[in-house]
Every structure is written in C-alpha cells, then in structure tokens.
Structure 1
Amino acid sequence: MKPPDQITSEILHLISSIAEKIGSINARHLYKAPAELRKSNRIKTIQSSLEIEGNTLSEEQITAILENKRVIAPEKDILEVKNAIEVYENLHYFEFDKLTSLCKAHQLLMKGLIADAGKIRSKSVGIVKGSEVAHLAPPGNLVQSLLNDLFSYLKNDEDLLLIKSCVFHYEFEFIHPFMDGNGRMGRLWQTLILKEYSPVFGFLPIESIIKNKQAEYYNALNKSGHSTPFITFMLQVIDQSLNELIKSQRVTLSGNDRMNIYKDKIGSQSFTRQNYMRSFPDISTATASRDLKDAVDKALLIKQGDKNKTVYQFQ
C-alpha cells in the first residue's frame, strides 16, 4: 500500500528548484568532486548524523580516526565513528530498494554497539524524550510486513525518487524497525536513494543542515497522519544543500579530474581534441592538448594519427 502524502504547490516548486540546481551542477561537473572535497564532506556527514544521536566527536577527531591516529574519546563514540566510516565508504555496495541490503548496512553501522545489529526487531519499543514517550512504534509482529510494503513502494511506485527518498525516511522512522540506530539509518538510506537520483548526493553533507535544524526535523517527523510536512522539510534541506554547493564550490578541475570525468562520459569510444573541449568549454586549446599529452604519457590514453587527424581512446 502506498504511504499517504499530498503533493502541494510548495513541494512542486522545490522539485523544480532542485532539478534546476542539479542541471547546473552537471554542467559544471560538480557531481564529480575532487577527492579532498569528497573526504571533507564525508567527514561532515558522519559527524553531523552521529552528533544528532549524541556522539561527542568533532570533525577534527573523525579526521584523525580516518588517518589512523590516536584519539582520546569515549570508546563507544569512537566505535560509532569507525562503523559509520566503513558504511559510508562502502555506500556503492548497497542496493537502495533491497531490505536485505538495509539489514547489512545496519549490521555494519551498529556492530559492537548492540547485540542484534542487522536484525529486524520483534519486540515492542517506544521513543522516550525526557520523561515522556514521544513515539510508540508499531508492535514487533507487524514490522516485517510494514517494511515489505515500504520497500515495495520504493521499488515499484511511480513517484519521483526525490519524493520516495523523503517518504521512505519518514515511514522508516515511524516503523522504527531496529532496536537502536534507526535515526542514523533513516538518514543514511535517504542519502542512498538520493544517490540513485544524482551522483552528487553521494558526497553532499545533507546531514549537516539537518543537524542545524534539529527542532524542525523532529517536528516534521512527529507530525502524524501523513508525510507531507516531512517531504516539504527534507526538500527544503536538499535544495539548500545544493545551493550551498553551487555557491561555495568554485572547483578548479585538474587535468586528471577532467580526464576521469570524460572517461565516465564516453567510455571506450574514440575521440578528438575538439570532442574533449566540447565537454570543457572553459579550457584553452593549449590546456586540452596538455591534458591529452599527460594522459598519453601516463598510459591512460592510446593516441593514433597525427595533427588534425589525431584520435584518442581510453585504455
């Protein structure tokens, strides 16, 4: 059964705005960010998502863990970070529309933290805020069927992936399928679904905006009945994160960056210098020639012909 929601004029406006920004990002090749930017944003993502759940480690400490340096902090917090690093580094191995993949991700994310990592709960559970029960999750005997319905919607419904990612996140938190780790898993899985929509979401730190808007985030999650308020909130977050990327990233691509982007684009097809320059209209003829010569010298390209009859092909 399809989860209930209503597509409002504000949601349609946000979808249009996001699509325009994705187009701009694609035109400027920001979806293929340099390694350092990917690393920096991944650290922000991990730090933000875990801080929402009470983790105390800073971005600097997470960077140190990534570099195998010693960090003085609570053992549980360090283990949470190490697990999250492993999961996000292997994001491409998970299938967004497979329940088995979700359980595998949860197992990695929560290993050593809870006894039943990766296992769907069979017990009743409630979310306590202060001295009050904020949310009483569905009984354990209903969780499996609710998840099956949710993944069926994810795989088969005709909704846009943008909408599906938000609906999934909302319904996942309502179902609360694991004994612990549901918040970070909901955010992780929305990222995975969005990555299917556009590669830029593989490194965009949406969680850092959510962290700065925690009250709004939980308010939108806690509105009962349907997911429309949460869809609106998350689309606003996505739109803001894309806008920040466009404004802040005046990325100067290296020759190696351009070559990797072009290889992804054309694969094993042969091409000329002019073909290459059409994909990078801001570079000069001299820069294009230097890129191609360097790639040939590094044995990345095979060169055939001479002068204006020269063609190239990736090895």
Structure 2
Amino acid sequence: MFKAEFRITPHLLKLFEQIAMAGALVRNSRLQVSVKAPLERDAFARSVHSSTWIEGNLLSLAQVRAVVDGKDLLVEEKQKTEVANCVEAVRRILKTKHKPVTEQGLLAVHARMIKGLLAKDRSGKYRSVQNYIVDARNKVIFTPPPPAQVQGRMKALFAWAKDESLHPVIRSAIFQHEFLTIHPFVDGNGRVGRAVGQWFLWEKGFDPLCTLGLDDFFAQGRPRYYDMIQQTRDMDGDFTHWVEYVAQGLAWAHEDVQNRIKAGTLRLQGVTLTPKQEELLALLERKGVLGAPEIGKAMKINRARVNQLIGPLVRLGIVTRVGAARAVRYRVNEK
C-alpha cells in the first residue's frame, strides 16, 4: 500500500489560487483561432523540446518544431526518433485526455515513447532487471526498487491515485515523483513520467495550453529539478516541498501563457512589442499597479528608460495611467 504524506501550506494554497485564477482568465478570454492555434502549436513543441532535452536530447527547438510539422531532418537518427516518439506519445494522450489515467494507458504511452529505441520485449513492459540512477560522473546516486517489487508498487500507486478527494495538482505531482522513484522501465522513465503527470491534470479539465509549459519550467532549472526529486526521496515520504515546487511551475506556466496570449493578440492587431516592453507588461500583470521608480528598480533600468518603454504602451491603450504628476502609477488596461 502506498501512502503519501504532505501538508497544505499557506504557500501551496496561494499557488493553487493563482493557478485557478489564471486558468479561468484563459478559459474566459475567448481567444480567436488565429491567436490560440499558434500558441497551442508552440506550447506543444516547447514541451516536447524541454522534456527530451532534460534527458539529453540535442535537437534545438527549431528542429523539434520541424519534427512536429512532419518535416525531414538530417540529424542523428536516435535524436530524431526520441523527439518524434515523444510527439506521437503526447498527441495520443491529448486525443483522449479526459479519460482516466490507467495502468494500461501508461504502458501504451511507454510503448509509443520508446518505439524503435528498445527491444520489443522491453517496450510497454515493466523492467525485469535492476537499474540505477547516476550523476554526470556516472556515480550511483539512487537505486530504484528491485524488479520483483515494480509491478506491486505500480499497482499500489494507481490504487492511491484513485482517491478523488486529492487536489489534481497534488495527485499529478506525487504520482510523477513516486513513478520516478520506482523507475519501472528500462528507459524512458523521465519522459513518460512527465507526460503522464500532464495527463492527470488534463483528465480533470486543465487546459493543455496552460500546463504544457511545466516542462519548460523543469528544463529551465534542470539542476534544481533533479535536486528536488532527490531531496524529496530523502524526506521519508513527505512530499510537501515537491508538491509546492510543481505547483510553482504550474503557476509560472499559466502566467507565461497569459503573457503569450497578450503578445499574440497585440501582434494580430499589428502591434509589435520589444522584449523589454513585454517584460514590463509581465511585471505589471504580476504586481497590479506600479510607479515608474518601482518599475525601474524591478527591471534595473533608469527613469528615462522606463518612460521610453511605457510611453508607447500608454498611447496604444495597453497601459493606463493612474493618478497625476509625481504620484502617477501604471496598470495594464483590462478593456
């Protein structure tokens, strides 16, 4: 029987609130197809790139986009196969994303994720040999349970995941971590674990557009990602910090989508923002209302540069002035 200990901390509740509010804003934004479709394609490609890159794949984001679009590439076959398999595995989950995650479904995801990379008798089947997790110097840092325990522990994990009282983020986070600890397959555990973690969220109605960025969050802080996995293993079954970490990643992913939606909508209207202006908008989205000195301090730029960046945003109606003279502050126009 699998038992998971965790605490619902104030920080975690705040993150859940941020995720819920951001998700509602995206759902209610009534995005035009000309904005949403490119965002979904981009989020999908970035997720595949991040998840495979975490495991050592060397294809660039541009090359991954080419694979997603079905274009041929002159690259090492194994590198291309890893990416193409991840594309197809996640696409298959997306087609039935509202169906419950099952053990049979997980095995099917592994079979597709590892197609052509493992012998058929190891594809979509739990391992029958011992495996080890090593660091960059090939030093063993963790030994997963012996193969004789794998099937029993996976069944116990799925039984635990049937608890409908669990918050979807908690269930997704803990399932993914315990899956990585069991390491039930000879290869492909990381990619499969992250994909199935997403599936647990989609099953409960989370928008893939808002959650696929979680892989980007993990990839951008890859050393921390691995540290958090190992630190949680050392916590004697307490998953609190791991759940907070995953929730932090989902909050970041939701905020990133909001910023991309705003930028995509502006581009559709013929408005092109500089990276610094997008950074300024993201800052105002997070903080609400700020004065020029606060903006300058947060962005590490002087007052003149703040005025240079924000002036066009005010004239375009993207940002609104609040107050007057020295007391003037700025906020994003919600209209």
Bucket of the pairwise TM-score, normalised by the shorter protein: 0.7 to 0.9
Question: Does 2:44 match 1:42?
Answer: yes
Taking the TM superposition and a 5 Å limit, the aligned residue runs for 1:114-193 are 114-115=118-119, 116-129=122-135, 130-193=137-200
Q: Which residue of 2 aligns with 1:81?
A: 83
1:62 aligns with 2:64: yes
Aligned residues: 253
Q: Which amino acid aligns with 2:179?
A: F
Taking structure 2 as the reference length, the TM-score comes to 0.71
Does 64-73 or 105-114 show the bigger shift? 64-73
Q: Name the TM-score, length of structure 1 as normaliser.
A: 0.75
Aligned to 1:24: 25
Cα deviation, residue 157, structure 1:
4.5
Q: 2:230 aligns with which of 222, 225, 228?
A: 222
**SS of aligned partner of 1:134:** strand
SS at match of 2:226: helix
- Asked if 1:212 corresponds to 2:220, the answer is yes
Distance 1:227 1:192, change over 3 A: same
Task: Tell me the CA shift for residue 16 of structure 1.
Answer: 1.7
Q: CA deviation at 1:197?
A: 2.9
User: Does structure 2 retain, via aligned residues, the 8 Å contact 1:25–1:31?
Assistant: no
- The farther-off stretch of 121-130 and 228-237 is 121-130
Query: Is the alpha carbon distance of 1:161 and 1:68 closer, same or farther for their aligned partners in structure 2, counting shifts above 3 Å?
Result: closer
Contact 1:169 1:189 in 2 (8 A): yes
Aligned AA for 1:21?
Answer: A
* CA displacement at 1:69 relative to structure 2: 2.7
CA deviation vs aligned residue, 1:245-288 (integer Å, no higher than 9, x gap) = 112212559xxxxxxxxxxxxxxxxxxxxxxxxxxxxxxxxxxx
Deviation at 1:34, TM superposition (A): 2.4
Question: 1:67 Cα shift?
Answer: 3.3
In structure 2, C-alpha distance between the alignment counterparts of 1:241 and 1:31, rounded to whole Å: 21
**SS at the partner of 2:141?**
strand
Q: Which runs of 5+ in 1 are unaligned?
A: 254-315
Q: Structure 1's 154 and 89: CA in aligned 2 closer, same or farther, altered over 3 A?
A: same
1:248 aligns with 2:260: yes
Decide whether the 8 Å contact of 2:202 with 2:208 is kept in 1.
yes
Q: Distance in 1 between matches of 2:206 and 2:15?
A: 19
Contact 1:191 1:202 in 2 (8 A): no
Shift of 1:73: 1.3
Of 170-179 and 69-78, more deviation after overlay is shown by: 69-78
- The alignment partner of 1:186 has SS state of helix
CA offsets per residue over residues 104-138 of structure 1, 9 Å max, x none?
00000001111111101122211111232111001
1:197 matched to 2:204? yes
- Aligned counterpart, 2:6: 5
Could you list the per-position Cα deviations for residues 3-31 of structure 1 after superposition, in whole angstroms to 9, with x for gaps in the alignment? Answer: 22222222122112211212222221469
2:125 is aligned with 1:101: no
Work out the CA distance in 2 between the residues paired with 1:31 and 1:132. 51
- Unmatched 5+ residue regions in structure 2? 267-335
Change (3 A) 1:108 1:154: same
Q: Quickly say closer, same or farther: Cα 1:68–1:162, change in 2 above 3 A.
A: closer
Q: Using the TM superposition, give the Cα deviation of residue 48 of structure 1 relative to its aligned residue in structure 2, in angstroms.
A: 0.6
Instruction: State the distance in 1 between where 2:241 and 2:185 align.
Output: 24
Give the whole-Å Cα distance in 2 for the aligned partners of 1:252 and 1:134. Answer: 47
Change (3 A) 1:66 1:20: closer
What residue identity is the alignment partner of 2:23?
I
Please state how far the C-alpha of 1:58 moved relative to its aligned partner: 1.1
Q: RMSD between aligned alpha carbons?
A: 2.1
Match of residue 302 from structure 2: none
Rounded Cα–Cα distance in structure 2 between residues aligned with 1:238 and 1:172:
19
Q: Deviation of residue 96 (structure 1)?
A: 4.2
Give 1:219 shift: 1.1
Percent of paired sites with the same residue: 28
Report what 1:15 is aligned to.
16
1:130-168 Cα distance to aligned partner (Å, 9 max, x none): 232111001111111111111111123511111100111
Task: Give the letter aligned to residue 215 of structure 1.
Answer: P
